[in-house]
Every structure is written in C-alpha cells, then in structure tokens.
Structure 1
Amino acid sequence: MREGTFEALRAQLRDAAATFADGPDALEGILLGMVDDVDRALREPLEIFPVCHHSPASAIAMARRLREKRPRVVYLELCEDMAPLLPELRNCRLPVAVQAFASEVEGFPADWAPLSVVAPITEASAEYQAIAYALDTPGVELVLVDRSSDHVFQWLPRQEPGGGPVDPDAPPVEEEAALHGDAVGVEIGDLRPRFAELEEHLLRHGRVRHWSEWWHQYVELPLGDADHDTYRQVMILIGSLFRRLAPGDPSRVRVDEDRERHMWTRMRQHLAASGVDPEDCLYVCGAFHAASRVAEFGVHGADTFEISPPSGSRWQHGLIPSSHAAIEAQFGLAAGSVSIAATEWAKNLRRTGVRPFRLAGQAGAKKGGTSKKALAPARAASTAAPPDRLSGFLRRPPVLDALDEAELLGWSVEIVRAARRNGYLASTADAIAVFETSILLAGMRDRAKPTPYDFQDAAVTCIEKDTVPGRRDVRRLVEIMMGGDRVGQVGYDALPPLARDVHDRLAPLNLKLQQRGVQRALLDIASRPELERCSDVLWMLRYLMPHGAARPIMGERRLGERSIQESWDLALGTHQRALIELGYEGVSIEQVLEQRLRRTAYDPHATTAAVLGAVEDAILYLRSRRLADELGTRALEVLATERSVDGAPEVLRRVRRLLAYYRTNEPVLPAWVESFVKTGYAHYCTLLPTAFTDEDASVHQVAAMLGFLFSMESLALSLGCDRHQLELAVAQSHPEEPSKVALLWAAQTHLGRLSRADLRKRCDDLLGNPLVLPAYPSYLSGFLHALEPVPGLTDFVVEAVSNAFARLPDPVLLPWLTTLISTLRAGGSELAPLLIREAGRIFPGRLAALDAWVPPWRAARPEPAAARQARRASGGGGSALLAAHPETCDAVARLLGCDGAWETPADGPQGVALLSRHPDTAVALEGLLAR
C-alpha cells in the first residue's frame, strides 16, 4: 500500500484538531493515531477482517467477501480448544453455544469451580458464516487462534470469575436468559466504548436510549450496503477510536494485548508449518483487536510472546442450547436487540441478494445453500492500494431511507392484534396512533424512517397506558413480533454419551424429550414392570438436575418402599444445558451420582448428618450396598472427629431410618452400622455433660443426643457398651437453663433415678413459687422436647401442660403460647401426634361429660395397703374368681415357679388357702384376667 493513501484525511484531521481543541497535540494525536491504525491494518499481507459481535452488517460483508476471495485458510478469533466441536453444529438448531466445562479445577481458586466458558453462535453472525464456509468447502482449513479456555481463567484477576459479587437487589433472570448459567462469555468482536463518558455522549447526541440502538442506527444501517473497502476501514476506525479512548485499566489492557499476542503467534506458527501464502488467508477478529499496536502484530511481527502451559484442570467440551435473551444478558446488550438483528439480517439478504453460507444438514437450513464445489484458485491479490473510503464516508451526510409505509403499517396492525390477544383494550385507533407516533418519534430523532426501536417506544406510549393486564408488556410483545426470543437446540447426535443414554432409557415413555415445555409421564409399574427402570432414571435426574427438570406428581421413594404407580412432569428439553453438563462429569448418570455422593461424603467440611444422607441416597437411587458401606464407614470417621452437637437431630432421624431399613431388609446389620452405634453411644455420652451447660447447644440438640442414647441403648449394650457410662454422664450434667433442667429430669426419670411422684412434686413446687413462675413455660418447653428421648412421659407432659393452663396467670401464659407453638411446629411430625393421641385418651370425648370430668392426676389414689384391706373385706377379691378356675391357677403357678400343694378347706375350692397367704399375687392375677 502506498504511503500517501490517507494523507488527505490526515491533513483534514490536523486542521480539525487545531480548530476545535485548545491545543493540537492531544486531539491530533488521537485522530491521526486512528488513521495510522487503519493504515497499519490495511498494509498487513494477511487480510484482517474486522467484525462486531452478532452484527448483520458484519455477516453480510463476511458472506460477500468469502465468495469473492475464496481463502484457503480462515483464522478465527475463538478459543483454540473448541475446534473439534464446530462440525457438530450441523446437528443443532441455532442459536447454540460452544462450551468448555471443568468441574475439577487445579491451579485456580477452589470457589471458582466449576469453570465454564461459552461462545454463542447465531446465524446472523460473521463467525458462523466463516465456520460454515470453511467446514463445507473442500480444501479450506479453519484454524482457531484465540487463547484456550484454560487461559481465559489463567488471565483473570484472582477474584470471582463472573466479575464480582452478585447484586442481591437485581431483578430475577428469566429462564431463557439463564441458559448460559454462570459461564464466562468469549467476546468475539466485542465493540462497545469502554469510556463511560464517550458512550453517554454518543447516546445523548444520537437521541437514543441504549448502545444497541445507537449501533443499529449509525453503524448497522450505513454499513449494510457498503462495499468491502469501506466496511473494513470504518470498522477498524471505530475499533481504534474505542481502543484509544478506553480507560487505562491495567488488568483489562494486559488481557486484551495478551490475546492479540497469542493470536498472531498462533497464526505465524501455522503459516510456518503449512507453508500457506498469507495472501490466501483471512483473519476474522473483532474490530477492537484489528487496531492492535502490540509488537507481535502482523506476519512479520516479533516472536517474543511465550504461551504459558495449561493448568492441571480437566476440560470437557460440548454444545449447549442458547437463545437471543441469553446472549443479550451475558454481553450486556439491550433486550430484544439480537432478535432485531436477526430480522435485519433477513431483510438485508432479501435486499442485497447475497447468498449466505449454511452448514449442510443443519436444522432450518435450506438445501443447496452452501457450495460443495472444490475450492477454486484464489484470484491474484491486487497490488494497488484500496482507495481512501474514510474521507468520503466521514463527509457524507446520513442517508435518509424513504419511509416504508407498508412495513410500518403492517407492524402497527400486528402489534394491536398481539395486544388484544394479551388482554389489552386496543383498537384500530391505537394502530393509527402507533403509526403516526412512530413517524413523529423518528422525526424528533432526525430519522426519516422509524427504526424498530422508534416503533417500540410508540407502541408502549399508545397501547400500554397505565396497567399490564397479562403476563407480557407491550415492549415484550414488540420483541416477539420482531422475531422473538429464538431458543436453540442441540440435536441428539451432538449430545454427550450420558444425555443420549438418558434419552434411550426413557424411550419407553413415548415422549418427545427434546421438545421444550412440560410433558406429563404416567408410569403404571404394576402392569408394566419394565417402566421401573424409567422410574429409577427419573429419580436420579430429579436428584442431579435443577428443580423442574423432573418433578414427581404422584409417587415417592423411601427406604424399603417402591411405588407401583408414578406421575411425572418432565422438562428435559427446557433444561437441556443442565443435562449436557452432566455429560461432562461422566458417561452415565449412575457414575455422576456416585461421584457426587463421594464428593459430599469426603468433603473436608462434611458433617455426620450429610454423610448419612449420602448413605441413604446411595440406597435409594443406586441400590448399591458397596457404596453404602463405604460411605457408612466414612460417616463413622466423621462422627469420631466431631466436637459439636449441631447435627445431632438429623443424625438421630437418619440413623433410625437406616436401622429400620436394614432390620427389615437384611439378615444381619452391616458392620459399619454396629460400629456407628457403639461409637455414637460413647461419643454422645462424652459430650452430654458439656452440651447441657453449653449456651450454643439448643435444647432440641441435647434432646436428640438423649434420643440417640436411649433409643440405641439396647443395641449398644448388646454390642458391648457399658450402661454405667450413660448413668455417669447424666449424673455429671448440671444445666442452669430451665428447659435443659426439665430435660435432665426426664432423663433421670427414664434411668430410674427420679420417680414419677418426685417429678410431679418438683413441678408443683415450681407452680407454687412466685419467683420461678415466669420461667415455668421454659420448663414445659423442655418437657416437650423430652418426648423425643422419653416418649413414655407423654401422659405426664399432658398433665403438666394442663396444669399450666389452669394455674398460670394470663400475663405469663399468653406470651408463652408462641414458644409452645414454635416448639410443636419444629418437632410437630413426632411430638404433636403423641400429645394429641394421649390427650384424646385422657380428656372426655363429649362436651356434656366435661363438667363432671375429674382429671386422672387429681383423682384420689388409695394407699396400696388400704386397697388390699378393702379387697380382703369383700371376700378375697380375686380369690373366688381364681378358685372357680383351678386349671388357670395351676398354669399360672407353674409359670411363677410355685411347686407347693394346694391347701384348701374341705368345703372350699382348691387354691383358696394359697391365695389367701399371697394376696398381692391374687390382686395382680385378677388385674391380668380382667384385661
């Protein structure tokens, strides 16, 4: 290229800098530096093609240039490790995203895991045109030259990879906008001012609301019909402007320059290895990188950049579904901008007649859209420098497109029809108002032809009024009308092995599992036993995938139980990304589930309850005795190292369920269960005195410890544990909190160290002491929690609560009711049924009997001696009854070990004299026979 190509433009810019700036140096350096950047990029023998991310103008220019130049090698700014996935785009419906995923990280902060990088691809993008051309044209090589996915995270600052903490006040993200999850997006052709004041200045003087609208009005439309030279020069100029006015963030500048050094280093390596002429190559990159000033720039640049080795992280690659909303959310674009770009792409194709490139066999592609002919020899590159297109482009006034009344009228009619379907009271008058308002807004913004953004504002102004009657507002209706949020889909052949295996195993359900939306699956396992395998898959998917992917409507899975009928709501097509990411972790869902359970159990911060939960899940979903025994042994190890009682309630519940399962389904208990009971018995005996006095240990946790000790006592003693250890632990416990004191009393009653009469007397003393009276509700709360370890005290708790309601004054009783309700709610599944059942047994069943009812604890209790005297005075009590049935008496005597002969009067029945000598036995036997 000749030196004087842009000399005229340089002179004009010098004069402008001297006229409008205080001093020519600063502004002149920026303006002339921009021209130098354009000149440098155009001089490069390897043609640089600058693009913007998802720009229809870039896609049109790319398709046109590829058919003209027919390059033999296409260098593309995309992560180099994603190249093997690009041929799988044939099996997908765009938009989709190429993803690199690493669940096990090495060399990065642990809280970054899992690592995920996505590069979304739409049909209206220059990168897709280059990919389709290279993959479907024989003799063309596609080379990805950007940093690898591993280097994306290597070059990030040591903070959150997503860019910082999440704003808790941010609005919720819609389902379609969350398709990429927390992945880091690879910005192919990112072109947006990084200088906030510059963007604000452009938006204000361009009379637009956001950057997407400015780009559409002032770049997309002018470049839509531009020739190749004009397009390249303008795009490089814009990239240079944004680059020179970017703030000097050292980390951001370093990453940008390292990417450029990496790409040029890779291109020079490929050129040297392949021997291809740079004139036969095309380098597709963002316009920001086309204006690079690094020393490694160009085929003759310096070879001073050393690419660091990858970390030890294990990366998996695949395709995930994407959507217009997901792209907009990830790259900060305005809502609806990608949909409008897709509409503009279709209009440009019809207007210009350019034939786009589409991958053969791709869903939605027209047959014959891509040439299958062998690559023709590239025409000789012209040695003459391209003319200076920038001077004319910058001088030319904006082209005012003529108003397309038919198009605008069609939009106005369609938006009114859509609004009426969504509950708005729209009419023909509103369509006319939208039509006229669109023209008015465009005129106020110096535009002869209303853009989709002008039309959107007019529709909101004329139709929405003050309320939104339905789920969608008018702005969303306009986005749908302009093309909607297209959601891509990954085809069956492009899915990882795990996802294909899931689809194959669920085939008996006869559902279209790749279809988006919720589908109902009915499983009659009793009549079709083969559906039990489908049920197993669905329960594992429910465990592994996000909520809503597989949701049971009828049926449940518990230890030792199996459903005979189930009903499911499935949305695997909607959650296809999550299913694909499972495929990065293993080749089957059983393998992934086993890895997840092991990861949970062997986590350094795992608790005993969490490990026992993993044991239960291994039995429920995998039916694996081997894995359950392994995780159970791990639970034993964790229990021995725990020094807190925080997880005692959950440990108690899970151990009880596991014991009930093994006792009913196994001939003997597993060895780890026996060891766990022995270790837990000794462990909780050791912690019990401390837990009673520890302020951080709640009464619920201490009650759970006692529940473990009392409910497992018989098994623990049979395995060799010593009961004196428990008695000693209770004797050493000296709590001060009233609720824990009551819990200790209940434990002493269970161990026989405190009688029911003494316990009742202590409660009566509390009610009679005005100083202790305000704390009595706390004692009752302790008794309520004591039902967990000592359910035999249920009748006493009913008595204590009844006495409290009868004797406590209202200022004390009413505030305590909230504590009582919260206690019952916390343990309601176990405590409330006991109390209700016992109260129903004690209290009268009819209202009329309530007046004459006397509580059992207030009824007169005759002394045992007086009762014996009364029975003797009445004729021996049970003597007559037993004497009337001598055979029964003989059988009971043999059971009791009485070998003596019966001594009876001559005129009396046998056994009377013996019973008269043992009246207590007679009374006891009478009670047994009466029952």
Structure 2
Amino acid sequence: MSPFGALREQLLGAAETFAGGPRALPDILAGMVDDVDRALREELEIFPVCHHSPASALAMARRLREKQPEVIYLELCEDLRPLLDELRNCRLPVALQAFATDLDGFPSERAPLSVVAPITEASAEYQAISYALDTPGVELVLVDRSSDHVFQWEPADPPEEAGRGEQEEEAALHGDAVGVEIGDLRPGFAELEEHLLHHGKVRHWSEWWDQYVEQPLAGADYETYRQVMVLIGSLFRRLRPSRDARRATDEDRERYMWTRIREHLTASGADPADCLHVCGAFHAASRVEQFGLASTAPFEITPRTGTRWRYGLIPSSHSAIEAQFGLAPGSVSVAAATWEKSVKRTGVTPFRLDGQRGTRKRAARKRLPDPVPAGPVTDRLSGFLSDAPALDALDEAELLGWCVDIVRLARRNGYLSSTADAIAVFETSILLAGMRGRARPTPYDFQDAAVTCIEKDTVPGRRDVRRLCEILLGGDRIGEVGYDALPPLARDVLDRLTPLGLDLEKRTIQRALLDFSATPELEPCSDLLWMLRRLLPGDAVRPIMGARRLGERPIQESWDLAIGRNQRAIVELGYEGVTIEQVLEQRLRKAVHAPKATAATALQAVEDSLLYLKSRRFTDELGARAVELLAAERTVDDAPEVLRGVRRLLAHYRTTEPELPRWCAAFVTAGYAHYCTLLPTAFADDDTGARQVAAMLGFLISLESLAVSLGCDHTQLELAVKQSHPTEPGKTALLWAAETQLGLLTTAELRERCDGLLDNPLVVPAYPRYLSGFVQALESVPSLSPLVVELLSKAFARLPDTVLLPWLPKLIVTLREQAAELVPVLVREADRTFPAGLAAVDAWVPPWEGRAAPEPAPPIAATGPVPGLLAARPESCDAVTALLGLDPAWPDAAGDPAVPPGAGAAGALLAAHPETAGAVAALLTV
C-alpha cells in the first residue's frame, strides 16, 4: 500500500465536504498526492529545487554529505558543461552564456542569440557543482536541452519573458539573453498568485515564497523538504492553464532530460542507487510517458542546426537575475543574506569550489563521512500540513542592528533621521509582523517600516529608503569573471592596455592620460581604445580629450575607462574573434554585405577602416563594395551622407597619396552617371526631399571637374537639368540655382524671377519655401551666397508678419539639422554685405538697391584712334554698358556732325575714365 494512502483519503474527504460542487478539487488534490508518490517511488532519486532558494541549497548540502552520489544529473543546458570548470576563477554571481552571431537554421533577424544561466552561492545547483568538481570519482552530467534547442523550441512570442530584461538600467548585465532557470516555481496564472498574495498578507510573490516556503523548510528534514517541494510543483503544474504557451516546451524538456539520463546510464553502467537527479520541483512532478527509468517510451531529439555557438562566463548581479526572471527587487539579496544566516544557525558546512574567488580561504577539506543508506519512504506531508508552523522568536539584536544601520545610512543620503526614527522603525516592524501573523519580523516587514518612518513624503537624494534597505540587507552583489576564465580576446585587451598602469578589472571609472610627445609607446594603447570605443557601449570607453578623424593626430588624449563594469560586452566580443582587429574587420565586412546596406554605409566602413585598421587591401575591398551598392541603388535617400563621406575621403587621399585609389575614381564616375540619371525623377518625386536633391546637385557640380577628367561627359548633367521639371517651390529654387551654375540662366534673370515672386501676392505665402531651396543650393553653388543674403534681406523687409513669423522657426531648424555647414557661408557673406557698426546703419544703402546716376561728364573729342575704334566696334561697349544697367547712345552711322561726338552715357563713361580707353588703345596700336 502506498505510504500516502491515508493522506489521500483525508484530502478527498475534506474536498468532498467543503467543495459541494464539481469534482475538480478532489481530482486535483488526489492528483497532487499521486505525483508525490510517483516521484518518491522512482528508482533514480529526484532532488526537487527552486531557483536561488536558500532552503534548497541547505537541503542539497545535507543530502550530498549523506548520500555521496557518484553521478549527478543536473537540469542545465548540456553544452554548457565545459564552462563549469572555470567557475573557481570567478567571483559569484556569474552567468554561463552561450552566444551565436552567425546563424544557420534560424532567421537572420533574430541574431545575435544568447542564453544565460546565472549561478549564485545560495543555490542548490552551485552546491551540486562544487561537490562534483572537488570530489574525486564524481561525474557531473548536464541533461537539459542544448542552447540550440532552447531557440528551436522557444515559442514565437513568449508571454512571460517579454520585456523582463528592461525593468532596470542596472539589469543590463544579461542584456536580452534568454534565461535558463532551475526550478521555476511560480503560479501559472494571475488569479492564483493574486489569491495567495491577498490571503498571505504580502506584497509580491518573492515575499510569499520566503514566508510560507523558505522559512518553514529551512529547518525541515530531507524527506519533508522533498515531499513538500514536489507537492508545490504538482499544485502549480495542475493549475497551469491548458493553453499555456510554455506547457508543451516544459514537457519536451522533461522528455529530453529522461532520455539523456537513460542514455548515460546505459553507456556508463552506473548504478541508479548511486545517482542523483537535480531538477526543478515543477519537473519533478512530471506526468510525461518518458518519466522514470522503467519507461520505454521513445523520444526523438531533433538534431542541432548549423549555428556555431560560442561559450563563456559573464558577470551577473542580483538585480540582473531579478529583472530577467521577474523577481521582486531585492529578493535575491535577501535570499543571500538568509543563506548566510541559515548556515551559521544550522551549522551546515556548504560546498565551495577550492580557490573560489570572493570567499574566505577555508581549512583543508575533511573526509566525508560514510554514506547513509536511504530508508523507506514515509508520509511526512500529513504532519507538516496539519501542524502549525513553529514561529521564530524575535531576534531583538538583529532587528536593532538593522534599525540603527538604516538610520545611519539614511543620514548619509540626505534624510533628517535620528534615534527616534530608529525606535519607530523597531516598533513598527514588530507591529507589522504581528498584523501579518508572524512573531519575527522579516526583512520585508522591516523594509515597510523603514519606508513609513523615515521617508516621509520626499526623497532628498537619488536613493529612496526601499533601495537603502536593499543595500543594507546585502546590496546588489555583482560578480566578476577572473582573468583565467576570460576568452583570448578579453585577455589580449587587458594585456595590451597594461602600459596605462591602471587596474582595469575594477568596476570603478578610471581616468587615463596619454601624452604622446612624452610617452610615444602609448600610441598602440590609443589605437586599441579607439577600436574599443567603436565596438563597446558608450560608457565603457569614453574619450574626454582627443578625437580620431581623417588627417588628424592629437598630441594628448584623456579617457574615462569602465572596462571592469562592462566585462560582459568584452566577453561577447571574444565570441566573435581572437583579436579586436579581427572582430572589427568582420563587423565592417558584415555591415557592407548586409541586405539593407547602402553606399553611405559602405563609405562609413571605408572611413572606419582607414581610421582603425590601416589595411589598404581591406579598405579597397570595402570601397569596391561601395561602388557596387551605389550603382544598384534606386533611391537617393542617402545622398547627403554619400556626399559628405566621399568629400572627406577625397580630401584625405588628395593630401596623403599621389593618386586616387582605383575604387575611389570608379565611385566618382559611377556616382556622376547614377545621379545624372536619377536627377529628373528626384525633382519630380514628392517623396524625395529638397535636401536629397541638393546633395545630388552638390555631388554633380562640385565633383564635375574630377568626373570629366576621369571620362564622364558634361552633357549628361546639362541634359539632366533641362529634363527636370519640379513643381515644389524648394526644388524649383534648386533647379534655378543649377541652371545659373551651368550658364543656362544669368544672375540678373534669376534676381528678376525672385523679385517677381515677391511682387505676386499669390506666391508670397510660398516664398519662404523658395528661400529654403536657395539656402540648400549653397551646397552645390556656393557662389550664390551674395544673392541668398540679398533674398533673405528682401524677405525680412517685405514679407508680411503672417508669413514671416511662422517661417522663422522652420528656417532655424532646417539650418541646424540639415545645413549646419552652410551657416558659416551665409554669416561671412552677411558680414561683407552689412555695415559693421550701428552708426553706419542709417546711411547704409543695400548694394542691390542701386546707386545714384553720376554727374554728366564733358564730351570728349572724337579724335584719335580710340573713338574711331569704338565707332567701328560698338558691340563691346554695348555689352559693358548693358552689364552696368545703362542705355548706350551713339551717333548715327553716317557720322552726322550735328550729333556731338561721344554724346550719351557711353561717352560720359569714357570721359570719366579716360585711362582705361588709353590703355586699351595702347595695347591695340602695339
């Protein structure tokens, strides 16, 4: 007869008495007892655990010393096994990580893929790992699905994990990696969790678990602990909704683990009595057909994809674990403090890896006692469930210490707290604990009391009292990966930065000063820092003084370095290559060959290659790719970036090399033909902005001489301009500017057109858009800057306020965001045009307003070679006079003596400036 028969009958009787309805409750209660019975009768001993549970860690330490298993099957990704040997070189907490960037079998948009499994000292899995690695003859086998299968079986939209990694800025140590938990014990639907929290008089799930599971099980014997954990796992499993997205995945994990266990037992011939299976309590209550060693149900494990996975250790923290797995802030810190206190109180000697960083050096390991054989399974649940939990006595010394320390910490952070507040926190903690049915205040009671008595209504600093309590009770402990456990790239980075003389493993921000004139040997460190700046997050390596641009080399540099705080990012770089240079080259090559790569992207990659890698072969490869991308583009959205990039590169090559690289010449010729072809379409397309059209014209006009020298035809540009027929005012202004530059339109005609726009009341509201186009046109035709200043001045003078005032903010924003480099051109031209002082403003006449007609000069004699020459060739004088805005007057062709010689404006001009006519005559007579 089952040892749980009496308990089953008792629960069924109670259910039938109190349910009074459907048979769902009796079935659930009976099923829970059956799950416990099934798990405990299994030939292979199952050890149920909860993630980061001090009670699980204590029970594991006790059971390992009693049983001394020879094989431990651990619920952890099987391909993470080689990383466990490196844990002794780290300071906990750290996380095991599998990382993949080059995907084969997964959609490329999911890259990079990352899986993390955090390890803390107050966890059962760490106790099992420490025992297995430091005990000779013990084998540790990881039996959970591989990292590849984690993403093969991952639901398309996981409902519970979505957004967990973004709860806190400090939780970024895990990034957006998928977390692997051992023993995820949490209700599967919100109604049950809300019910438990309400009747348990607690705020969140972590507090409920600590109050009703952790504390009662901390001093329980192994059999009681085991039965209670399986019972809880069965309860949450049976109450999980049938349509839950994770249900099928969890069942496949259980089939996977039991299949791997049977395979290992068959291959090794190990005795199941000497083995221990460590898994989450949820999986210990499994009902899949592959459960147990006696099962023969097959399960086909799908092969892994071709994705290449990289493995390593990254630093973790309490806040990162809480954010990723949905735990309450501070719960992992409270668990760590509870673990340390329980170890002292119970006298249990925990297992720690020899040489583990961050722990005190301990005495030599004593020989383990002889294993205790397992006794028969007995019912411990009946007594545990029927007896009232033993209430812990009030530990006044501990509570007083908390109250004094929180007041001291609060005063350091700006709170006006005093001894009276410490007394109030002490009494309020006891009061809250009594109201919640417990004799001994928990850390959560103390935290609520401190907030009530100290914080009042304002927070004077950046930390509130709740955060101060978390710091007091353990703080956000952050792990560290040791030098020996780092990948080769990370070790290479630390080695190459050794000349700086800084301890880069510290988590503080350190200042590095580099004076290249005094210490030229630091130049390689500068090159490495700039590459790290390019690859790492913004706060890891931050330049304070100095810049890396084409053609510039600073004499001194100053850096703020937080490499120790960004260990995770450097470790993940180590998954991509052996050196920083290799990783940067791979990323640049990947960027220019990406499906959405553009010519602007490739030009930026070329510039980065010149700045950081200094490899002519690789730079030419990226440049050739830029030519291909430019020829294949069908839009001109990136024309401004292309123009700026090619101008910088051309200026660099012209000053550093005797001739342009082949790819650079090909880029200019391809760009000239490409933009000439797309110019008419861009003028007519409403989706193409004036900024893009201005950049196209800037490329065509400013690089025309170079393009023509390389074989392009100037006629292409003229035809493209003549075929352009814009309708938008800004683009129309750009077309007029281009026609002026090409000689198709004179400056006088352009001025006349603009004046006509101001005189037309129907066009006046759109006049600012024309001006914006002219401002953009300075990119391609900088010689128009005097005309642009003139047009802006006329607009300010003549436009009505209803048009001018709404336009001014738009003009300022446009100049700042799209034409910042054009503002100095306008400012210099305005400086030349307008008076320098206030005194000259009243008498100042704008140059475009014209000058008064000069006094008539006395007529000059129509003798000598000059008048005869002018009479014979009047066309030159007519043209000059027309440019000056005057009307020429000449004698009739017969030379009528009645007409005075030299009469008219032309004659007056010659009379006023006889030196010019004499100089011309002297040249002609010679």
Q: Same fold (TM over 0.5)?
A: yes
Alignment of 1:664-679 (within 5 A): 664-679=655-670
Alignment of 1:270-281 (within 5 A): 270-281=264-275
1:14, distance to aligned residue in structure 2 (A): 2.0
2:440 is aligned to 449
2:629 is aligned to 638
Residue 263 of structure 2 is aligned with which of 259, 262, 269?
Answer: 269
1:486, distance to aligned residue in structure 2 (A): 0.1
Residue 59 of structure 1 is aligned with which of 49, 57, 67?
Answer: 57
Task: Report the more deviating stretch, 18-27 or 226-235.
Answer: 18-27
1:222, distance to aligned residue in structure 2 (A): 0.8
Alignment of 1:324-339 (within 5 A): 324-339=318-333
**Do residues 876 (structure 1) and 914 (structure 2) align?**
yes
1:819-861 alpha-carbon deviations (Å, 9 max, x no partner): 3222322344321101110111111112111111122222334
Residue 747 of structure 1 is aligned with which of 724, 727, 738?
Answer: 738
Alignment of 1:507-518 (within 5 A): 507-518=498-509
1:706, distance to aligned residue in structure 2 (A): 0.5
RMSD of equivalent CA atoms: 1.9
2:922 is aligned to 914
1:138-176 alpha-carbon deviations (Å, 9 max, x no partner): 111110011101111111123479845x59xx9x64343
**How many Å separate the matches in 1 of 2:912 and 2:753?**
37
1:25, distance to aligned residue in structure 2 (A): 3.4
1:532 is aligned to 523
Change over 3 Å in CA distance of 1:915–1:161 after alignment to 2: farther
1:522, distance to aligned residue in structure 2 (A): 0.7
1:304 is aligned to 298
Residue 142 of structure 1 is aligned with which of 128, 140, 143?
Answer: 140
Task: Report the more deviating stretch, 341-350 or 33-42.
Answer: 33-42
Alignment of 1:500-579 (within 5 A): 500-579=491-570
1:92 is aligned to 90
1:349, distance to aligned residue in structure 2 (A): 0.6
**Do residues 728 (structure 1) and 708 (structure 2) align?**
no
1:257 is aligned to 251
1:715 is aligned to 706
**Do residues 18 (structure 1) and 16 (structure 2) align?**
yes
Alignment of 1:397-476 (within 5 A): 397-476=388-467
Task: Report the more deviating stretch, 640-649 or 25-34.
Answer: 25-34
- Same amino acid, percent of matched pairs: 70
**How many Å separate the matches in 2 of 1:157 and 1:361?**
40
> How many residue pairs get matched?
879
1:923 is aligned to none
- Contact kept in structure 2, 1:112 and 1:161, CA below 8 Å: no
Alignment of 1:152-301 (within 5 A): 152-159=150-157, 163-164=161-162, 166=163, 173-249=167-243, 251-301=245-295
**How many Å separate the matches in 2 of 1:246 and 1:713?**
71
- Contact kept in structure 2, 1:358 and 1:370, CA below 8 Å: no
SS of 1:334's equivalent? coil
Q: Which amino acid aligns with 1:89?
A: L
- Contact kept in structure 2, 1:355 and 1:369, CA below 8 Å: no
Alignment of 1:614-629 (within 5 A): 614-629=605-620
1:773, distance to aligned residue in structure 2 (A): 2.0
**How many Å separate the matches in 2 of 1:551 and 1:228?**
53
1:769 is aligned to 760
Change over 3 Å in CA distance of 1:279–1:370 after alignment to 2: farther
1:369, distance to aligned residue in structure 2 (A): 5.8
Change over 3 Å in CA distance of 1:455–1:161 after alignment to 2: closer
1:897 is aligned to none
Task: Report the more deviating stretch, 130-139 or 14-23.
Answer: 14-23
Unaligned runs of 5+ in 2: 852-883, 889-903
- Contact kept in structure 1, 2:161 and 2:324, CA below 8 Å: no
SS of 2:332's equivalent? helix
Change over 3 Å in CA distance of 1:875–1:117 after alignment to 2: closer
Change over 3 Å in CA distance of 1:873–1:134 after alignment to 2: same
1:273-305 alpha-carbon deviations (Å, 9 max, x no partner): 111111111111111111111121112122401
1:431, distance to aligned residue in structure 2 (A): 0.8
**How many Å separate the matches in 2 of 1:597 and 1:325?**
34
**How many Å separate the matches in 2 of 1:656 and 1:822?**
24
2:683 is aligned to 692
1:110, distance to aligned residue in structure 2 (A): 2.3
**How many Å separate the matches in 2 of 1:734 and 1:306?**
67
1:612 is aligned to 603
1:595-629 alpha-carbon deviations (Å, 9 max, x no partner): 11111101111111111111111111111211111
- Contact kept in structure 2, 1:871 and 1:877, CA below 8 Å: no
Q: Which amino acid aligns with 2:240?
A: A
Q: Which amino acid aligns with 1:68?
A: E
**Do residues 590 (structure 1) and 581 (structure 2) align?**
yes
1:904 is aligned to none
**How many Å separate the matches in 2 of 1:736 and 1:485?**
62
**Do residues 32 (structure 1) and 30 (structure 2) align?**
yes
**How many Å separate the matches in 2 of 1:247 and 1:771?**
69
**Do residues 801 (structure 1) and 792 (structure 2) align?**
yes
**How many Å separate the matches in 1 of 2:111 and 2:201?**
43
**How many Å separate the matches in 2 of 1:257 and 1:812?**
70
2:899 is aligned to none
1:66, distance to aligned residue in structure 2 (A): 0.6
**How many Å separate the matches in 1 of 2:167 and 2:258?**
38
1:208-249 alpha-carbon deviations (Å, 9 max, x no partner): 111111111111111111111111111111111111111112
**How many Å separate the matches in 2 of 1:347 and 1:162?**
32
SS of 2:187's equivalent? coil
1:340 is aligned to 334
- Contact kept in structure 2, 1:358 and 1:369, CA below 8 Å: no
SS of 1:522's equivalent? strand
Q: Which amino acid aligns with 1:226?
A: A
2:858 is aligned to none
1:378, distance to aligned residue in structure 2 (A): 4.4
Unaligned runs of 5+ in 1: 883-911, 919-931
- Contact kept in structure 1, 2:65 and 2:369, CA below 8 Å: no
SS of 1:530's equivalent? helix
**How many Å separate the matches in 2 of 1:644 and 1:875?**
57
- Contact kept in structure 2, 1:359 and 1:370, CA below 8 Å: no
Under a length normalisation based on structure 1, what TM-score does the superposition of the two structures give?
0.92
1:300-343 alpha-carbon deviations (Å, 9 max, x no partner): 12240111100111100100000011111111111111101111
1:768-799 alpha-carbon deviations (Å, 9 max, x no partner): 22222222222111111111100001111111
Residue 638 of structure 2 is aligned with which of 623, 626, 647?
Answer: 647
**How many Å separate the matches in 1 of 2:693 and 2:2?**
88
1:692, distance to aligned residue in structure 2 (A): 0.9
Residue 833 of structure 1 is aligned with which of 824, 842, 845?
Answer: 824
1:872, distance to aligned residue in structure 2 (A): 4.6
- Contact kept in structure 1, 2:599 and 2:642, CA below 8 Å: yes
2:4 is aligned to 6
**How many Å separate the matches in 1 of 2:363 and 2:268?**
30
1:457-476 alpha-carbon deviations (Å, 9 max, x no partner): 11111111101111111111
- Contact kept in structure 2, 1:699 and 1:739, CA below 8 Å: yes
Under a length normalisation based on structure 2, what TM-score does the superposition of the two structures give?
0.92
**How many Å separate the matches in 2 of 1:778 and 1:249?**
59
**How many Å separate the matches in 1 of 2:746 and 2:652?**
35
**How many Å separate the matches in 1 of 2:65 and 2:359?**
18
**How many Å separate the matches in 2 of 1:716 and 1:423?**
68
